[in-house]
Amino acid sequence: MGDTVAGEPVLKVIAYGGGTGPVSLAGGSTIISQIIDASGGENVFADRDPFFEASLEAVAAKDADAFLIFADYEEATDKLDATKESEFLFTTFPGMQASRDRRVAVTDYVYTSPGWRVAQTVEDIARQLHPEVFE
C-alpha cells in the first residue's frame, strides 16, 4: 500500500474510540499506529500510551487532517454510530483541518488485530484517507 499512497501528503490522524469527554484514543506503540502509517497517515498521539483517555482540551490542542473512528470500540453490543460520532468530532473540534474537510475514516477495531485482515484494513483506511488516489 505504501507505493500506492507514496508521494501523497502524510495526513495527521486522531484514532478515536468513543466518548464525549474524556475521549478514548489509540496512541503509539500499537499496530493501529503502524496501520495508520502504512495507510498514508501519522498518529498525532504516537507519543502517548497505547490506549488512553484524553480531555477534549488535550485533543483540541492537536491539529489533525483526519479522524479514524473505531466503530466497534465501545462494546460489542453497543457499537458506535460512525455518522453520529463524525458529527460529534466535527462539531467539537471545528478548528481542526479534519473537521473543516470533513475527513474521516471508519473501521472496526477488531480488524486492527494482528492477522490476515491487517493488509485489507490498511488498504481500506488508505482508500478513505486518500480517495483521490483510488479514483
Output the CA angle 131-133-42, nearest 5 degrees.
Answer: 70
pLDDT value of residue 6 = 78
- The domain over range 2-130 is classified in CATH as 3.40.50.1980: yes
User: For 8-12, what is the mean pLDDT?
Assistant: 94
Specify the pTM: 0.90
pLDDT in tens, 64-93: 999 999 876 555 456 678 889 999 999 999
Residue 13 and residue 59: Cα distance in Å, rounded? 11
| Percent above pLDDT 90 for the chain | 68
Query: Looking at per-residue confidence, does 115 or 67 come out higher?
Result: 67
Query: Looking at per-residue confidence, does 104 or 77 come out higher?
Result: 104
Task: Give one DSSP letter per residue of 44-87, joined into a string.
Answer: TTTTS-SEEEE-HHHHHTS--SEEEEETTSSBTTB---HHHHHH
Query: Looking at per-residue confidence, does 88 or 134 come out higher?
Result: 88
pLDDT value of residue 82 = 86
Residue extents of the structural domains in the chain: 2-130
